[in-house]
Amino acid sequence: MRLAQAALELFVERGYEATTVADIAARAGVTERTFFRHYADKREVLFGDPGEYNAVFTDAVAAAPAEAGPLDAVALALRAAGGWFEGRFAYARRRAAVVAANPALQEREQVKRLHLTEAIAEALVARGVPDAVAGLAAELGTVAFHQAFARWVAAAEESDLAALAPQVLAELRALVA
């Protein structure tokens, strides 16, 4: 987290393009070699471990009651993911602003979102949900979480993302009812 925090500070201060890996390593008090042991490049430093992040969602889908339908399992995953962000509002808000200002980071964010959608779909299939339905439910879940996250970081102060994310999913469900 120290490298990510240092990178975020520098991206905010100097801009993404003007910040080098050497700058990030120096700010974090490590060598460039240490940086590259953790991240392939400076773009990756803001994205953490996708396996850990995706597991928050997929573990919640897997733990959903057997009688839960696909969107109900996804709603539980959104609640769990919202809880994972508790206490991370200030960092998430600054990170979102840096990502929004940089096309290379926006592209990486979209890739992260695609992998999350795939992971949720796989977790739903493992519950016995047909592939097509699992894919659709996963897409709706990631759209809902993305929208909820955007609302959350745009707010003047921290709110309960764990409650907001399933609420946004309910709004999507109401659109098609």
Tens-binned pLDDT, residue by residue, of the chain (177 aa): 789 999 999 999 999 999 999 999 999 999 999 999 999 999 899 988 888 999 999 999 999 999 999 999 999 999 999 999 999 999 999 999 999 999 989 999 999 999 999 999 999 999 999 999 999 999 999 999 999 999 999 998 899 999 999 999 999 999 987
**Look-up of token digits 């206490």:** 87
Q: Decide: pTM greater than 0.75.
A: yes
Instruction: Give residue limits of the domains in the chain.
Output: 2-44, 47-176
CATH of domain 47-176: 1.10.357.10
CA gap 54, 50 in Å, rounded: 6
Contact, 108 vs 44, CB < 8 A? yes
**Closest CA relative to residue 140, chosen from 74, 80, 77, 81:** 74
Yes or no: domain 2-44 corresponds to CATH 1.10.40.50: no
Q: How long, in residues, is the chain?
A: 177
Would the CA dihedral through 85, 88, 91, 93 be positive or negative?
A: positive
Query: Residue 60: its pLDDT value, please?
Result: 98
- Quick one: pLDDT at residue 154? 95
Q: How far is CA 128 from CA 117, 119, 125, in A?
A: 17, 15, 5
